[in-house]
Amino acid sequence: MKKLIVAESAGFCFGVRRSVDMAMKLLDEHGACASLGELIHNEDVVNALKAKGMRVVNTPEEVTAGERVLVRAHGAAPEIYEALEQAGAEIHDATCPKVRAIHKIVARAKEEGRFTIVIGMRAHPEVNAICGWCGEHEVFENAEELEKWLKTKPDPWEKPITVVVQTTQTHSNFTECCLFIKKRCTNAKISDTICLATSTRQEEAARIASECDAMVVIGGKHSANSVHLAQICSEHCLNVQFIERTEELDTDRLEAADTVGLTAGASTPAWIIKEVRNKMSDEIKNEQSTVEKEMSFDEMLEETLKTIYNGDKVTGLVVAITGTEISVDLGTKYSGFIPTSEFTDDGIKVEDAVKVGDTIEAVVVRVNDVEGTAMLSKKRLDAAKMWTDIEDAVESGAVLEGVVTEENKGGVVVNVKGVRVFVPASQTDLPRDAELSQLLKKTVRLKITEVNKARKRVVGSIRRVAQAERRERIENIWNEIEVGKKYHGVVKSLTSYGAFVDIGGIDGMVHVSELSWGRIHQPSEVVSVGDEIDV
Protein backbone atom coordinates (compact mmCIF):
# COMPACT_ATOMS: atom_id res chain seq x y z
CA MET A 1 0.00 0.00 0.00
CA LYS A 2 1.39 3.34 -1.06
CA LYS A 3 -1.20 5.70 0.32
CA LEU A 4 -3.71 5.83 3.18
CA ILE A 5 -6.61 8.31 3.10
CA VAL A 6 -8.30 8.87 6.47
CA ALA A 7 -11.71 10.60 6.38
CA GLU A 8 -11.70 13.91 8.25
CA SER A 9 -15.29 13.29 9.37
CA ALA A 10 -14.53 9.84 10.85
CA GLY A 11 -15.47 9.25 14.49
CA PHE A 12 -17.71 10.77 17.13
CA CYS A 13 -20.34 13.23 15.94
CA PHE A 14 -21.15 16.10 18.31
CA GLY A 15 -24.31 14.35 19.58
CA VAL A 16 -22.33 11.28 20.65
CA ARG A 17 -19.52 13.41 22.12
CA ARG A 18 -22.11 15.31 24.12
CA SER A 19 -23.76 12.20 25.56
CA VAL A 20 -20.44 10.57 26.49
CA ASP A 21 -19.25 13.82 28.05
CA MET A 22 -22.44 14.03 30.15
CA ALA A 23 -21.90 10.43 31.29
CA MET A 24 -18.30 11.12 32.26
CA LYS A 25 -19.31 14.19 34.30
CA LEU A 26 -21.98 12.21 36.16
CA LEU A 27 -19.51 9.43 36.92
CA ASP A 28 -16.78 11.84 38.02
CA GLU A 29 -19.12 13.83 40.26
CA HIS A 30 -21.23 11.00 41.73
CA GLY A 31 -19.37 7.75 41.00
CA ALA A 32 -22.45 6.03 39.57
CA CYS A 33 -25.37 6.52 37.21
CA ALA A 34 -27.59 4.59 34.83
CA SER A 35 -28.07 4.74 31.08
CA LEU A 36 -31.47 4.03 29.55
CA GLY A 37 -30.25 1.54 26.97
CA GLU A 38 -26.64 1.33 25.80
CA LEU A 39 -25.36 4.88 25.64
CA ILE A 40 -23.84 4.55 22.15
CA HIS A 41 -23.42 1.76 19.61
CA ASN A 42 -19.88 0.90 20.63
CA GLU A 43 -19.20 -2.03 22.95
CA ASP A 44 -15.76 -0.82 24.04
CA VAL A 45 -17.05 2.58 25.19
CA VAL A 46 -20.07 1.01 26.90
CA ASN A 47 -17.87 -1.49 28.77
CA ALA A 48 -15.42 1.22 29.80
CA LEU A 49 -18.28 3.33 31.18
CA LYS A 50 -19.66 0.30 33.02
CA ALA A 51 -16.26 -0.17 34.63
CA LYS A 52 -16.42 3.42 35.88
CA GLY A 53 -19.84 2.90 37.49
CA MET A 54 -22.50 3.23 34.79
CA ARG A 55 -25.13 0.50 34.63
CA VAL A 56 -27.42 -0.06 31.65
CA VAL A 57 -31.19 -0.29 32.24
CA ASN A 58 -33.65 -1.13 29.49
CA THR A 59 -36.91 -0.01 31.13
CA PRO A 60 -37.93 2.63 33.71
CA GLU A 61 -39.04 -0.22 35.99
CA GLU A 62 -35.37 -1.15 36.56
CA VAL A 63 -34.58 2.31 37.94
CA THR A 64 -34.35 2.92 41.70
CA ALA A 65 -35.69 6.05 43.38
CA GLY A 66 -33.17 8.90 43.35
CA GLU A 67 -30.96 7.22 40.74
CA ARG A 68 -29.40 9.46 38.11
CA VAL A 69 -30.53 8.24 34.69
CA LEU A 70 -29.09 9.40 31.39
CA VAL A 71 -31.42 9.43 28.38
CA ARG A 72 -29.11 8.61 25.48
CA ALA A 73 -28.66 10.60 22.26
CA HIS A 74 -31.36 8.54 20.49
CA GLY A 75 -33.97 10.12 22.75
CA ALA A 76 -37.05 8.53 24.31
CA ALA A 77 -40.83 8.60 24.01
CA PRO A 78 -42.90 10.92 26.29
CA GLU A 79 -44.25 7.98 28.29
CA ILE A 80 -40.68 6.92 29.11
CA TYR A 81 -39.97 10.31 30.68
CA GLU A 82 -43.21 10.07 32.64
CA ALA A 83 -42.34 6.56 33.87
CA LEU A 84 -38.85 7.70 34.93
CA GLU A 85 -40.35 10.59 36.89
CA GLN A 86 -42.83 8.23 38.57
CA ALA A 87 -39.92 5.94 39.48
CA GLY A 88 -38.25 8.88 41.24
CA ALA A 89 -35.31 9.05 38.83
CA GLU A 90 -33.13 12.14 38.40
CA ILE A 91 -33.28 12.56 34.62
CA HIS A 92 -30.29 13.82 32.62
CA ASP A 93 -31.35 14.26 29.00
CA ALA A 94 -28.62 13.67 26.40
CA THR A 95 -31.02 13.51 23.44
CA CYS A 96 -29.23 14.79 20.34
CA PRO A 97 -30.58 18.27 19.39
CA LYS A 98 -31.09 17.00 15.83
CA VAL A 99 -33.30 14.19 17.13
CA ARG A 100 -35.16 16.54 19.44
CA ALA A 101 -35.97 18.70 16.42
CA ILE A 102 -37.72 15.71 14.82
CA HIS A 103 -39.74 15.17 18.01
CA LYS A 104 -41.01 18.74 17.72
CA ILE A 105 -41.96 18.29 14.05
CA VAL A 106 -43.98 15.09 14.60
CA ALA A 107 -45.55 16.42 17.81
CA ARG A 108 -46.77 19.46 15.88
CA ALA A 109 -48.11 17.16 13.14
CA LYS A 110 -50.03 15.23 15.81
CA GLU A 111 -51.61 18.47 17.09
CA GLU A 112 -52.63 19.41 13.52
CA GLY A 113 -54.18 15.99 12.90
CA ARG A 114 -51.63 15.05 10.23
CA PHE A 115 -50.55 11.50 9.38
CA THR A 116 -46.79 11.01 9.87
CA ILE A 117 -44.51 8.87 7.72
CA VAL A 118 -41.16 8.03 9.34
CA ILE A 119 -38.40 6.81 7.02
CA GLY A 120 -35.85 4.78 8.97
CA MET A 121 -34.87 1.47 10.53
CA ARG A 122 -37.96 0.16 12.27
CA ALA A 123 -36.14 -1.45 15.22
CA HIS A 124 -33.72 1.42 15.81
CA PRO A 125 -34.04 3.18 19.21
CA GLU A 126 -34.05 6.63 17.55
CA VAL A 127 -37.01 5.64 15.38
CA ASN A 128 -38.82 4.07 18.35
CA ALA A 129 -38.42 7.34 20.26
CA ILE A 130 -39.68 9.40 17.30
CA CYS A 131 -42.77 7.20 17.01
CA GLY A 132 -43.55 7.89 20.66
CA TRP A 133 -44.01 11.57 19.83
CA CYS A 134 -46.20 10.87 16.78
CA GLY A 135 -49.94 10.61 16.43
CA GLU A 136 -51.16 8.30 13.67
CA HIS A 137 -48.07 7.12 11.80
CA GLU A 138 -46.22 4.40 9.89
CA VAL A 139 -42.52 3.54 9.59
CA PHE A 140 -40.98 2.56 6.25
CA GLU A 141 -37.41 1.44 5.69
CA ASN A 142 -37.48 2.02 1.92
CA ALA A 143 -39.66 2.96 -1.06
CA GLU A 144 -40.52 -0.68 -1.75
CA GLU A 145 -42.14 -1.03 1.68
CA LEU A 146 -43.97 2.24 1.13
CA GLU A 147 -45.38 1.03 -2.19
CA LYS A 148 -46.59 -2.28 -0.70
CA TRP A 149 -48.34 -0.43 2.12
CA LEU A 150 -50.09 1.90 -0.30
CA LYS A 151 -51.57 -1.06 -2.18
CA THR A 152 -53.38 -2.09 1.00
CA LYS A 153 -54.83 1.39 1.55
CA PRO A 154 -57.67 2.46 -0.78
CA ASP A 155 -57.34 6.13 0.18
CA PRO A 156 -54.11 6.66 2.14
CA TRP A 157 -54.03 10.42 1.54
CA GLU A 158 -57.36 11.24 3.19
CA LYS A 159 -55.28 13.09 5.83
CA PRO A 160 -52.48 15.60 5.20
CA ILE A 161 -49.04 13.97 5.42
CA THR A 162 -45.89 14.91 7.34
CA VAL A 163 -42.67 13.12 6.40
CA VAL A 164 -39.51 12.90 8.55
CA VAL A 165 -36.40 10.76 8.24
CA GLN A 166 -34.06 9.11 10.75
CA THR A 167 -30.99 11.32 11.22
CA THR A 168 -28.59 8.60 10.05
CA GLN A 169 -30.42 7.55 6.87
CA THR A 170 -28.83 7.81 3.43
CA HIS A 171 -29.93 10.63 1.17
CA SER A 172 -30.47 8.20 -1.71
CA ASN A 173 -33.06 6.18 0.26
CA PHE A 174 -34.76 9.34 1.54
CA THR A 175 -34.89 10.85 -1.96
CA GLU A 176 -36.34 7.67 -3.47
CA CYS A 177 -39.10 7.57 -0.83
CA CYS A 178 -39.87 11.27 -1.25
CA LEU A 179 -40.16 10.99 -5.04
CA PHE A 180 -42.70 8.20 -4.58
CA ILE A 181 -44.67 10.23 -2.00
CA LYS A 182 -44.71 13.37 -4.18
CA LYS A 183 -46.19 11.41 -7.08
CA ARG A 184 -49.10 10.25 -4.93
CA CYS A 185 -49.61 13.20 -2.60
CA THR A 186 -49.69 16.94 -3.28
CA ASN A 187 -50.08 18.18 0.31
CA ALA A 188 -47.20 16.42 2.03
CA LYS A 189 -44.89 18.39 4.34
CA ILE A 190 -41.46 16.80 3.89
CA SER A 191 -38.64 17.59 6.33
CA ASP A 192 -35.08 16.53 5.49
CA THR A 193 -33.99 15.69 9.04
CA ILE A 194 -30.86 13.76 8.09
CA CYS A 195 -28.07 15.08 10.31
CA LEU A 196 -25.61 17.39 8.56
CA ALA A 197 -22.71 15.44 10.10
CA THR A 198 -24.19 12.23 8.67
CA SER A 199 -24.52 13.77 5.21
CA THR A 200 -20.94 15.06 5.33
CA ARG A 201 -19.65 11.69 6.51
CA GLN A 202 -21.53 9.82 3.78
CA GLU A 203 -20.46 12.19 0.99
CA GLU A 204 -16.83 11.98 2.10
CA ALA A 205 -17.00 8.17 2.33
CA ALA A 206 -18.40 7.96 -1.21
CA ARG A 207 -15.70 10.26 -2.56
CA ILE A 208 -12.84 8.44 -0.83
CA ALA A 209 -14.17 4.98 -1.76
CA SER A 210 -14.31 5.97 -5.43
CA GLU A 211 -10.62 6.94 -5.26
CA CYS A 212 -9.38 3.85 -3.39
CA ASP A 213 -8.62 0.21 -4.18
CA ALA A 214 -9.81 -0.86 -0.72
CA MET A 215 -11.89 0.66 2.10
CA VAL A 216 -12.04 0.00 5.83
CA VAL A 217 -15.18 1.10 7.69
CA ILE A 218 -15.10 1.01 11.50
CA GLY A 219 -18.38 0.90 13.42
CA GLY A 220 -20.89 -1.17 15.34
CA LYS A 221 -22.82 -3.78 13.38
CA HIS A 222 -26.03 -2.49 14.98
CA SER A 223 -25.14 1.18 14.35
CA ALA A 224 -27.38 2.56 11.60
CA ASN A 225 -24.96 5.22 10.39
CA SER A 226 -22.05 2.73 10.31
CA VAL A 227 -24.08 0.17 8.35
CA HIS A 228 -25.02 2.85 5.84
CA LEU A 229 -21.39 3.94 5.53
CA ALA A 230 -20.38 0.38 4.66
CA GLN A 231 -23.19 0.17 2.09
CA ILE A 232 -22.18 3.46 0.47
CA CYS A 233 -18.52 2.44 0.30
CA SER A 234 -19.49 -0.92 -1.28
CA GLU A 235 -21.28 0.98 -4.06
CA HIS A 236 -18.00 2.69 -5.01
CA CYS A 237 -15.33 0.12 -4.06
CA LEU A 238 -15.26 -3.68 -4.43
CA ASN A 239 -12.87 -4.34 -1.53
CA VAL A 240 -14.62 -3.10 1.65
CA GLN A 241 -14.05 -4.33 5.22
CA PHE A 242 -16.66 -3.46 7.86
CA ILE A 243 -15.08 -4.00 11.29
CA GLU A 244 -15.83 -3.08 14.91
CA ARG A 245 -12.30 -3.20 16.32
CA THR A 246 -8.65 -3.59 15.40
CA GLU A 247 -8.36 -7.38 15.70
CA GLU A 248 -11.00 -7.85 12.96
CA LEU A 249 -8.85 -6.09 10.35
CA ASP A 250 -7.67 -8.46 7.60
CA THR A 251 -4.45 -6.88 6.35
CA ASP A 252 -4.04 -9.61 3.70
CA ARG A 253 -6.92 -8.02 1.82
CA LEU A 254 -5.01 -4.72 1.68
CA GLU A 255 -1.65 -5.94 0.39
CA ALA A 256 -2.52 -5.55 -3.30
CA ALA A 257 -4.16 -2.15 -2.84
CA ASP A 258 -2.17 0.93 -3.79
CA THR A 259 -4.58 3.31 -2.05
CA VAL A 260 -6.68 2.44 1.00
CA GLY A 261 -9.39 4.58 2.55
CA LEU A 262 -10.42 4.62 6.23
CA THR A 263 -13.63 6.00 7.70
CA ALA A 264 -15.69 5.37 10.83
CA GLY A 265 -19.23 5.72 12.16
CA ALA A 266 -20.46 8.38 14.56
CA SER A 267 -20.11 6.09 17.61
CA THR A 268 -16.51 5.09 16.94
CA PRO A 269 -14.05 6.67 19.41
CA ALA A 270 -10.83 8.24 18.18
CA TRP A 271 -8.57 5.67 19.82
CA ILE A 272 -10.09 2.75 17.87
CA ILE A 273 -9.56 4.67 14.63
CA LYS A 274 -5.95 5.25 15.67
CA GLU A 275 -5.42 1.60 16.60
CA VAL A 276 -6.69 0.46 13.19
CA ARG A 277 -4.59 3.05 11.41
CA ASN A 278 -1.52 2.06 13.42
CA LYS A 279 -2.03 -1.63 12.68
CA MET A 280 -2.14 -0.79 9.00
CA SER A 281 1.09 1.13 9.51
CA ASP A 282 2.75 -1.82 11.23
CA GLU A 283 1.56 -4.47 8.84
CA ILE A 284 1.73 -2.65 5.53
CA LYS A 285 4.49 -0.15 6.29
CA ASN A 286 2.42 2.89 5.45
CA GLU A 287 4.78 5.83 5.67
CA GLN A 288 2.03 8.30 6.40
CA SER A 289 1.00 6.64 9.68
CA THR A 290 2.90 6.57 12.95
CA VAL A 291 2.39 4.26 15.91
CA GLU A 292 1.20 6.18 18.93
CA LYS A 293 1.65 5.24 22.56
CA GLU A 294 -1.17 3.49 24.35
CA MET A 295 -3.40 5.78 26.37
CA SER A 296 -5.74 5.11 29.24
CA PHE A 297 -9.48 5.31 28.71
CA ASP A 298 -9.63 8.66 30.53
CA GLU A 299 -6.81 10.08 28.42
CA MET A 300 -8.47 8.94 25.21
CA LEU A 301 -11.81 10.41 26.25
CA GLU A 302 -10.16 13.68 27.21
CA GLU A 303 -8.67 13.87 23.73
CA THR A 304 -11.97 13.01 22.04
CA LEU A 305 -14.27 15.18 24.17
CA LYS A 306 -12.84 18.64 23.74
CA THR A 307 -14.76 21.31 25.66
CA ILE A 308 -14.95 24.90 24.48
CA TYR A 309 -15.89 28.07 26.32
CA ASN A 310 -17.08 31.56 25.40
CA GLY A 311 -14.13 33.60 24.19
CA ASP A 312 -12.08 30.59 23.04
CA LYS A 313 -10.30 30.81 19.72
CA VAL A 314 -11.17 27.75 17.61
CA THR A 315 -10.30 26.30 14.22
CA GLY A 316 -12.73 24.20 12.24
CA LEU A 317 -13.73 22.86 8.84
CA VAL A 318 -16.62 24.41 6.89
CA VAL A 319 -19.03 21.52 6.23
CA ALA A 320 -22.13 23.32 4.94
CA ILE A 321 -23.40 26.75 3.89
CA THR A 322 -27.06 27.78 4.03
CA GLY A 323 -28.82 31.07 3.49
CA THR A 324 -28.44 32.04 7.14
CA GLU A 325 -25.38 30.28 8.55
CA ILE A 326 -22.09 28.52 7.89
CA SER A 327 -21.76 25.18 9.71
CA VAL A 328 -18.29 24.45 11.09
CA ASP A 329 -16.99 21.08 12.34
CA LEU A 330 -14.89 21.89 15.41
CA GLY A 331 -13.95 18.30 16.30
CA THR A 332 -15.74 18.74 19.63
CA LYS A 333 -19.11 17.77 21.09
CA TYR A 334 -20.47 21.07 19.81
CA SER A 335 -21.67 21.94 16.32
CA GLY A 336 -20.31 25.36 15.40
CA PHE A 337 -22.03 27.94 13.20
CA ILE A 338 -21.27 31.45 11.96
CA PRO A 339 -24.05 33.75 10.67
CA THR A 340 -23.62 34.35 6.93
CA SER A 341 -24.10 38.07 7.59
CA GLU A 342 -20.48 38.17 8.78
CA PHE A 343 -19.34 37.41 5.23
CA THR A 344 -21.80 39.46 3.18
CA ASP A 345 -20.81 43.04 3.97
CA ASP A 346 -20.88 45.51 1.08
CA GLY A 347 -22.85 43.14 -1.14
CA ILE A 348 -20.27 40.34 -1.12
CA LYS A 349 -21.78 36.92 -1.88
CA VAL A 350 -21.16 34.34 0.84
CA GLU A 351 -20.02 31.74 -1.74
CA ASP A 352 -17.28 34.15 -2.85
CA ALA A 353 -16.07 34.63 0.72
CA VAL A 354 -16.04 31.04 2.04
CA LYS A 355 -16.48 27.53 0.61
CA VAL A 356 -17.23 24.05 1.96
CA GLY A 357 -13.92 22.43 2.88
CA ASP A 358 -12.25 25.70 3.93
CA THR A 359 -10.44 25.79 7.27
CA ILE A 360 -11.61 28.77 9.27
CA GLU A 361 -10.56 30.50 12.50
CA ALA A 362 -13.16 32.10 14.75
CA VAL A 363 -13.92 33.01 18.35
CA VAL A 364 -16.65 31.34 20.43
CA VAL A 365 -19.47 33.83 21.14
CA ARG A 366 -22.02 31.61 22.87
CA VAL A 367 -22.11 27.93 23.86
CA ASN A 368 -25.49 26.23 24.10
CA ASP A 369 -25.05 23.02 26.11
CA VAL A 370 -28.72 22.10 25.72
CA GLU A 371 -28.69 22.27 21.93
CA GLY A 372 -25.05 21.19 21.59
CA THR A 373 -24.22 24.21 19.45
CA ALA A 374 -21.64 26.99 19.56
CA MET A 375 -22.18 30.35 17.90
CA LEU A 376 -18.92 31.62 16.42
CA SER A 377 -17.69 34.93 15.06
CA LYS A 378 -14.94 35.45 12.54
CA LYS A 379 -15.40 39.22 12.67
CA ARG A 380 -14.63 39.40 16.37
CA LEU A 381 -11.46 37.36 15.96
CA ASP A 382 -10.35 39.52 13.03
CA ALA A 383 -11.13 42.63 15.10
CA ALA A 384 -9.11 41.31 18.06
CA LYS A 385 -6.15 40.69 15.77
CA MET A 386 -6.63 44.11 14.21
CA TRP A 387 -6.38 45.86 17.61
CA THR A 388 -2.76 44.77 17.82
CA ASP A 389 -2.09 46.05 14.30
CA ILE A 390 -3.79 49.35 15.13
CA GLU A 391 -1.78 49.85 18.32
CA ASP A 392 1.40 49.14 16.36
CA ALA A 393 0.29 51.56 13.62
CA VAL A 394 0.31 54.49 16.06
CA GLU A 395 4.03 53.98 16.68
CA SER A 396 5.03 52.97 13.15
CA GLY A 397 2.83 55.46 11.29
CA ALA A 398 1.62 52.65 9.02
CA VAL A 399 -1.15 53.43 6.56
CA LEU A 400 -4.32 51.33 7.00
CA GLU A 401 -7.31 50.87 4.73
CA GLY A 402 -11.01 50.80 5.60
CA VAL A 403 -14.54 51.60 4.46
CA VAL A 404 -16.48 54.67 5.62
CA THR A 405 -19.62 53.21 7.22
CA GLU A 406 -21.39 56.18 8.79
CA GLU A 407 -21.45 59.94 9.19
CA ASN A 408 -21.07 60.87 12.84
CA LYS A 409 -21.33 64.10 14.78
CA GLY A 410 -18.24 66.02 13.82
CA GLY A 411 -16.79 63.41 11.48
CA VAL A 412 -17.11 59.94 9.94
CA VAL A 413 -16.59 56.36 11.12
CA VAL A 414 -14.28 54.05 9.17
CA ASN A 415 -14.45 50.24 9.57
CA VAL A 416 -10.89 48.89 9.55
CA LYS A 417 -11.31 45.08 9.59
CA GLY A 418 -13.94 45.19 12.30
CA VAL A 419 -12.50 48.08 14.34
CA ARG A 420 -14.39 51.41 14.38
CA VAL A 421 -12.08 54.36 13.70
CA PHE A 422 -13.42 57.90 14.16
CA VAL A 423 -12.10 60.50 11.73
CA PRO A 424 -12.87 64.14 12.69
CA ALA A 425 -14.25 66.34 9.90
CA SER A 426 -11.02 68.39 9.91
CA GLN A 427 -9.07 65.17 9.16
CA THR A 428 -11.23 63.93 6.26
CA ASP A 429 -9.34 66.01 3.66
CA LEU A 430 -12.60 67.53 2.46
CA PRO A 431 -13.15 71.30 2.13
CA ARG A 432 -14.60 72.99 5.23
CA ASP A 433 -18.19 73.23 3.95
CA ALA A 434 -18.25 69.93 2.02
CA GLU A 435 -20.86 67.25 2.77
CA LEU A 436 -19.32 64.39 4.75
CA SER A 437 -21.91 62.00 3.32
CA GLN A 438 -20.03 61.92 0.02
CA LEU A 439 -17.47 59.66 1.73
CA LEU A 440 -20.00 56.98 2.73
CA LYS A 441 -19.19 53.45 1.45
CA LYS A 442 -15.90 54.66 0.00
CA THR A 443 -12.61 52.89 0.68
CA VAL A 444 -10.13 55.28 2.29
CA ARG A 445 -6.53 55.21 3.47
CA LEU A 446 -5.74 56.64 6.89
CA LYS A 447 -3.24 56.85 9.74
CA ILE A 448 -4.09 56.11 13.37
CA THR A 449 -3.49 59.12 15.62
CA GLU A 450 -4.94 57.97 18.95
CA VAL A 451 -5.85 54.62 20.59
CA ASN A 452 -7.62 54.04 23.90
CA LYS A 453 -8.30 50.30 24.09
CA ALA A 454 -10.01 50.52 27.49
CA ARG A 455 -12.63 52.88 26.05
CA LYS A 456 -12.61 51.15 22.64
CA ARG A 457 -11.77 54.50 21.06
CA VAL A 458 -9.63 54.89 17.96
CA VAL A 459 -9.05 58.17 16.12
CA GLY A 460 -7.59 58.40 12.65
CA SER A 461 -6.71 60.89 9.92
CA ILE A 462 -7.39 60.56 6.21
CA ARG A 463 -5.87 64.01 5.67
CA ARG A 464 -2.38 63.00 6.83
CA VAL A 465 -2.23 60.23 4.26
CA ALA A 466 -3.66 62.43 1.51
CA GLN A 467 -1.18 65.22 2.30
CA ALA A 468 1.74 62.80 2.33
CA GLU A 469 0.63 61.28 -0.96
CA ARG A 470 0.25 64.76 -2.51
CA ARG A 471 3.72 65.77 -1.32
CA GLU A 472 5.12 62.59 -2.85
CA ARG A 473 3.33 63.21 -6.15
CA ILE A 474 4.50 66.84 -6.22
CA GLU A 475 8.08 65.81 -5.51
CA ASN A 476 7.93 63.23 -8.29
CA ILE A 477 6.57 65.80 -10.73
CA TRP A 478 9.29 68.37 -9.88
CA ASN A 479 11.93 65.67 -10.26
CA GLU A 480 10.64 64.67 -13.70
CA ILE A 481 9.08 67.82 -15.17
CA GLU A 482 10.63 69.32 -18.30
CA VAL A 483 9.72 71.57 -21.23
CA GLY A 484 7.89 69.65 -23.93
CA LYS A 485 6.57 66.86 -21.64
CA LYS A 486 2.86 66.06 -21.94
CA TYR A 487 0.44 65.79 -18.98
CA HIS A 488 -3.21 64.89 -18.48
CA GLY A 489 -4.80 67.27 -15.98
CA VAL A 490 -7.98 68.73 -14.53
CA VAL A 491 -9.02 72.39 -14.82
CA LYS A 492 -9.11 73.77 -11.26
CA SER A 493 -9.88 77.48 -11.80
CA LEU A 494 -10.19 80.18 -14.46
CA THR A 495 -8.90 83.75 -14.64
CA SER A 496 -9.11 86.43 -17.31
CA TYR A 497 -5.65 85.51 -18.53
CA GLY A 498 -5.80 81.73 -18.50
CA ALA A 499 -6.74 78.41 -16.84
CA PHE A 500 -5.04 76.70 -13.93
CA VAL A 501 -4.71 72.93 -14.44
CA ASP A 502 -3.83 70.33 -11.78
CA ILE A 503 -1.35 67.92 -13.36
CA GLY A 504 -1.04 65.66 -10.30
CA GLY A 505 -0.48 67.89 -7.27
CA ILE A 506 0.92 70.93 -9.04
CA ASP A 507 -1.21 73.61 -10.70
CA GLY A 508 0.14 74.73 -14.06
CA MET A 509 -1.15 77.86 -15.83
CA VAL A 510 -2.29 77.65 -19.46
CA HIS A 511 -2.27 81.15 -20.93
CA VAL A 512 -5.42 82.24 -22.75
CA SER A 513 -3.39 82.44 -25.95
CA GLU A 514 -2.57 78.71 -25.64
CA LEU A 515 -6.14 77.52 -25.14
CA SER A 516 -7.34 77.80 -28.74
CA TRP A 517 -6.05 78.28 -32.28
CA GLY A 518 -8.70 80.91 -32.75
CA ARG A 519 -8.92 84.24 -30.97
CA ILE A 520 -10.92 84.11 -27.68
CA HIS A 521 -11.70 86.77 -25.07
CA GLN A 522 -12.21 84.53 -22.00
CA PRO A 523 -10.85 80.99 -21.08
CA SER A 524 -14.47 80.00 -20.25
CA GLU A 525 -15.19 80.08 -24.00
CA VAL A 526 -13.06 76.92 -24.35
CA VAL A 527 -12.86 75.12 -20.98
CA SER A 528 -14.77 74.81 -17.70
CA VAL A 529 -13.72 73.96 -14.14
CA GLY A 530 -13.53 70.18 -13.83
CA ASP A 531 -12.71 69.51 -17.48
CA GLU A 532 -9.99 66.92 -18.15
CA ILE A 533 -7.50 68.12 -20.75
CA ASP A 534 -4.10 67.25 -22.15
CA VAL A 535 -1.42 69.95 -21.83
Closest by CA to 268, choosing from 221, 219, 222, 200, is 219
- Helix ranges restricted to H, 287-431: 297-304, 350-353, 378-396
Closest by CA to 89, choosing from 116, 57, 50, is 57
3-state class (DSSP) for residue 352: helix
CB 168 within 8 Å of CB 127: no
| Catalytic site includes residue 126 | yes
C-alpha pair distances (Å), 411 with each of 346, 434, 458: 21, 12, 13
Q: Exactly one of 67, 111, 126, 255 is catalytic; name it.
A: 126
Q: How far apart are CA 275 and CA 165, in angstroms?
A: 33
- Label residue 380 exposed, middle or buried (CB < 10 Å: 0-12, 13-18, 19+): middle
DSSP strand pairing (373-377 vs 359-368): antiparallel
Eight-class DSSP state of 334: S
> Where does 157-296 show beta strands of DSSP type E?
161-165, 189-190, 214-218, 240-243, 259-264
Strand order in the sheet with 54-57: 54-57, 33-36, 68-71, 90-93
CB 21 within 8 Å of CB 305: yes
Q: How far apart are CA 473 and CA 506, in angstroms?
A: 9
C-alpha pair distances (Å), 64 with each of 48, 70, 89: 22, 13, 7
Q: How far apart are CA 404 and CA 423, in angstroms?
A: 10
3-state class (DSSP) for residue 270: helix
List the catalytic residues.
Answer: 126
